[in-house]
Amino acid sequence: MSARQATTRRIATIAVELAIDDPELAERVRAIIMRQSGLRVVDTQGPAAPDIRITDAMAEDAAGVPVIVLAEGGGVWDALLGGAAAVLADSSDGATLNAAIHAVAQGLTLLSEGFRRELLMDRAATDELAADADADPEPVAVDLSARERQVLDLLAEGASNKVIARRLGITPNTAKFHVASIVAKLGAIGRTDAVAKAMRLGLVMI
């Protein structure tokens, strides 16, 4: 078999490994993959290396295997810097996931539209922080609860709502509520802006 034939065969049937902690999400993704022609799920402990790995955790060294991260929001930069080839919303439908798998198998990098907008907001917030670097801290008193301060510290680390929930032993919805409360109390336009404002106020140190 020629190298070209081997490559064609490899792309024709893409072996997908699931490394998803959330049982419901794992089952949904497995069902999606099994309905798609040209895709198959392989065991994480199997003898052969997968072509693609899908996870709901932060991307990390996967021995050269392209990684698709399914996220509920936040931490896009960290996922990309951690080596993710794609970052998709964990609510992505079958068509989106199928297209992403094939694109990543061809060596492309992609983001869900919502995450693309998040990166643009991150850039805007970073530019604002740089412009205000020499400014005095804003004279604003922010009344954060003890739990909100814990969540803010994790936000400053780039943690997603799901990671915050795991670290603090709360539900993702509760984590999402705390994040929204922090953003509102700081008068921020989003997670990154909230961290930037908190840094200027001396609420967090990075």
Residue in 119, 26, 104 with CA at minimum distance from that of residue 66: 104
The answer to whether residues 198 and 156 touch, using CB atoms and an 8 Å cutoff, is yes
Q: What is the pLDDT of residue 82?
A: 73
Q: What is the pLDDT of residue 6?
A: 45
In the DSSP assignment, the letter for residue 98 is H
What pTM, to 2 d.p., does this model score? 0.57
Q: What is the pLDDT of residue 114?
A: 74
Q: Does 1.10.10.10 match the CATH number of domain 137-200? A: yes
Residue in 15, 21, 13 with CA at minimum distance from that of residue 166: 21
Q: Where are the domains of the chain?
A: 3-113, 137-200
**What are the beta bridge partners of residue 53?**
17, 67
Give average pLDDT by consecutive 10-residue segment, the chain, 206 residues: 46 83 90 90 76 78 78 71 83 90 90 72 57 52 85 88 90 87 87 87 80
Q: What is the pLDDT of residue 4?
A: 46
Note the CATH number of domain 3-113: 3.40.50.2300
Q: What is the pLDDT of residue 29?
A: 93
